[in-house]
Chains A and B, each alone.
Chain A
Amino acid sequence: MTGRPAEDRELMRELDALSRARGREPGDAPPAAVDAAVLARARAAAGRRRVPAWWIPATLAATVVIAFSLMLRVQEDATTVPAAMEAAGPGEGRAAPAAAAAAPASAEVAGTPPQVAVQAPSAAPPPPEAASSQADVATLRAAPSAKTAAPPPDPEAWLAKIEALEAAGRTEEAAAERERLEAAYPGWLEQRARGRD
């Protein structure tokens, strides 16, 4: 349109005249059924479009976050419940739960799966610094579980066990157990002896 405006204007005039000359035919419009079909399709598509574009990725992200936090929670429960159960047993069993708790805890710290970490110490012991840090973590993990889930055994039963050890001639073990009993129930032994008197 920029090169030869006069020619173009002439062409446009002629095209306009030809367009007018063609006239209009009656009923030259889309049938009502076609109009209805087009509009129905447009409405249906707009309905689908109302879901915002960010909806799907946001839903996926939320699902992943929830699933991950659930997995962590389940893993945590799996490590604390056996520790509590074992700690609820008699005296010498207390060290075992702490060690059992230490393996999964160290595995979590190292970012490796728990089942691999349980077997790792026997195959290749960790370096001293790593071991001490793992032990710290294990202590931290085991401490609350022992406090909450392992109350000391009944003193009478404990004392009976001590007396049985003494009777069997295992005096050193009996003395050690007696010390522990005294530590767990301060003054109980003395009170009991006074009561008997």
Chain B
Amino acid sequence: MSATETAALPLRAARRSAVARRAHTLMLPTVQDDASEDGQLICRYADGDVAAFERLYEKHRLPLWRFLRRHLREEAATADVFQETWTRVVANADRYRPTAPFGAWLYRIAHHCCVDHWRRSGRTKRREVANDDALAALPDTVARGPAEHAMHAQAAEALHAAVAQLPDEQRAAFLMYAEGGLSLAEIALATDVGLETAKSRLRYAAAKLRLAMTAAGQGDGT
């Protein structure tokens, strides 16, 4: 790194910390702990540090791949969208601002890439239907608990099938939680919705999956 680039680093850092302070004032989620490290890594990459990107990639490649694979359910499309997501991360690294954690930013890009892919392929969106009555009719708790059913491969398979059957928004929210490890607030940011909407989607998804697990357990005769 040249002397001039090194001199420019404190300026960028100051600008980013100013943005972070403003975000904190607005009560937006700011980068903290582990997410803060990710934020620093992407900023270092934006300044030309390739090793920082490699570390970031190593950390997020598996969760993102699994998220896309479960969400898209097509092997070839998964590879394409995965590469497209990282290409956009690379191209926009210098635009990243710590007003949102890196994870939320990454999955937001991935989410948009999925939508673009479906639009290109002419797939019709599977819309969620907000039906509180249907949600209320679902059992409150899993009859034997999900952990018990996880012991059975058939139950896990039924769960995967049930995830695949979820409406796009609910599936994205559940997979961001389950595969990406995103918090509720991060899921809301990544999917461009409010916190309550994100929570509602997760609640619907959980209820439907719970029902699928129960049905699989009964079908299994256990």
Q: Could you mark each residue 18-40 of chain A with 1 if its beta carbon is under 8 Å from any beta carbon of chain B, else 0? A: 11111100001111001101110
Size bin of chain B's contact surface = 35 or more
From residue 155 to 191 of chain B, which have CB atoms closer than 8 A to chain A?
155-156, 159-160, 163, 174, 177-179, 184-185
Does A15 lie at the interface of the complex (its beta carbon under 8 Å from any beta carbon of B)? yes
Residues of chain A lying within 8 A (CB to CB) of residue B93: 45
Tell me the minimal C-beta distance from A11 to chain B in angstroms.
6
Contact present for A52 and B5 (CB under 8 Å)? yes
Interface presence of B110 (CB below 8 A): no
Contact A15 B50 (CB under 8 A): no
CB-based contact A29/B159 at 8 Å: no
**With A14-B206, A39-B54, A46-B53 given, is the CB distance from A28 to B65 under 8 Å?**
yes
Contacting residues, chain B, for A30 (C-beta < 8 A): 61-62, 65, 79, 82
How many A-B residue pairs have C-beta atoms within 8 angstroms? Tell me: 114
> Is A50 in contact with chain B by the CB < 8 A criterion?
yes
Min C-beta distance of A130 to chain B, whole Å: 48
Q: Once bound together, how far apart are the Cα atoms of A44 and B196, in whole Å?
A: 41
A28 contact set on B, CB distance < 8 A: 62, 65-66, 69
- Which DSSP category, helix, strand, loop or mixed, fits chain B's interface? helix
Most chain B Cβ neighbours within 10 Å, of A11, A29, A38: A38
Q: Does A50 lie within 8 Å of B5, measured CB to CB?
A: yes
Which residues of A sit under 8 angstroms from B66, Cβ to Cβ? 28
Residues B146 and A20 in contact, CB atoms below 8 Å apart: yes
Pick from B79, B87, B174, B178: contact of A31, CB under 8 Å: B79
CB pair A18 B83 closer than 8 Å:
no
Question: B147 and A17: CB pair below 8 A?
Answer: yes
A170 at the interface (CB under 8 A from B): no
CA of A143 to CA of B84, assembled, Å: 72
A17 CA to B174 CA, complexed, in Å: 12
CB–CB B145/A50 < 8 A: no
Complex contact B86–A23 (CB within 8 A): no
* Chain A positions 166-194 with a Cβ under 8 Å from a chain B Cβ: none
Q: Return the contact of B8 from the options A19, A34, A52 (Cβ within 8 A).
A: A52
B206 touches A39 (CB 8 A): no
Contact of B209 with A by CB under 8 A: yes
Contact B57 A17 (CB under 8 A): no
19 more contacts with CB within 8 A, not counting A30-B61, A54-B4, are A1-B185, A8-B184, A8-B199, A18-B159, A18-B206, A18-B210, A19-B178, A20-B150, A22-B150, A29-B61, A29-B65, A35-B57, A38-B57, A42-B53, A42-B57, A42-B90, A46-B53, A49-B48, A49-B94
